[in-house]
Amino acid sequence: MVNPYLSDDIIFKEILTRVPADNLHNNFRHVCRKWFESISSPRFIEAHYSNIEQGLITPGPIRFKPGWIALRFMEIKTGKMIDRFIKFRSLNPCEMPNLRSFSNGMLLLQDGQNVHNLYVVNPATSQWTSIPPFTTPIGHWFELVYVPCTQEYKVVHLFKDYHSFTFRCEIFTCGGSGGGDSWRLVDSITENRINKYFWGERVIVRCYTLEC
């Protein structure tokens, strides 16, 4: 006799990994406790992320909706445009946030008016979290990094110390066992270790060369 039911392995690997993330987050994970735990597991999230359609994302202000911004996603293969609306209570309704970095499906946005306001955003579910203000008067280079071994996101801030002629670096861990509510300062980096002075807006981070 043929079993009319699908196994959990087929449901999660072949079906749910292809369901849009916002539907998983808002609907499917609330079906039962088992589904909640499975959909929230790092293994499922990684499998689902591997099926996501690649595309381009650009932020923009929504002036007729105070406090909201839109993240417009364009699929590379089809050219289809998808708008995702996200509520930001701390943003000026007429200010457009700056997209500073991205990693593993997450975005790092900076308030266009107050540079100390940083946000890590999940564009698939419209969820976001604010980052505590960094320690310097102005920000220089930021990078959002995903660390697979700890399954954590870290915000790296590299800035110039004009008194010691070195670069300094501080790191904030978003959630997880190493999370906290403050930035952690790491060793100074002399210019000869960076090879040359640079003016770009991005800093490339490798977990095996920078202490995480």
Read off the pLDDT of residues 84-139 as tens digits, 9 standing for 90 and up: 777 766 556 556 678 888 888 788 988 877 888 888 888 777 778 888 888 887 76
Output the CA–CA distances (angstroms, integers) from residue 57 to 77, 112, 136, 203, in the order listed: 14, 17, 29, 20
Region 148-175 average pLDDT: 81
In a 13 Å sphere around the CA of 201, the CA atoms on its Cβ side amount to 7
Backbone angles phi, psi at 134, to 5 degrees: -75, 170
With 0-12 / 13-18 / 19 or more C-beta atoms within 10 angstroms meaning exposed / middle / buried, residue 139 is middle
Region 144-169 average pLDDT: 81
- The answer to whether the CB of 202 falls within 8 A of the CB of 141 is yes
Give percent above pLDDT 90 in the chain.
Answer: 1
- Report the chain's mean pLDDT, rounded to a whole number: 73
pLDDT at 144 over 80: yes
CA angle (169 as vertex; 112, 138 as ends), nearest 5: 30
- The answer to whether the CB of 88 falls within 8 A of the CB of 62 is no
Read off the pLDDT of residues 44-53 as tens digits, 9 standing for 90 and up: 777 777 777 6
Secondary structure element (H or E) that encloses residue 93, with its range: none
Query: 196-212 burial, b if ≥16 CB within 10 A, otherwise e?
Result: eeeeeeebebeeeebeb
Other CB atoms within 10 A of residue 10 CB: 11
pLDDT at 210: 40
pLDDT at 172: 92
CA angle (164 as vertex; 161, 166 as ends), nearest 5: 55
Read off the pLDDT of residues 5-25 as tens digits, 9 standing for 90 and up: 667 777 777 777 777 777 777
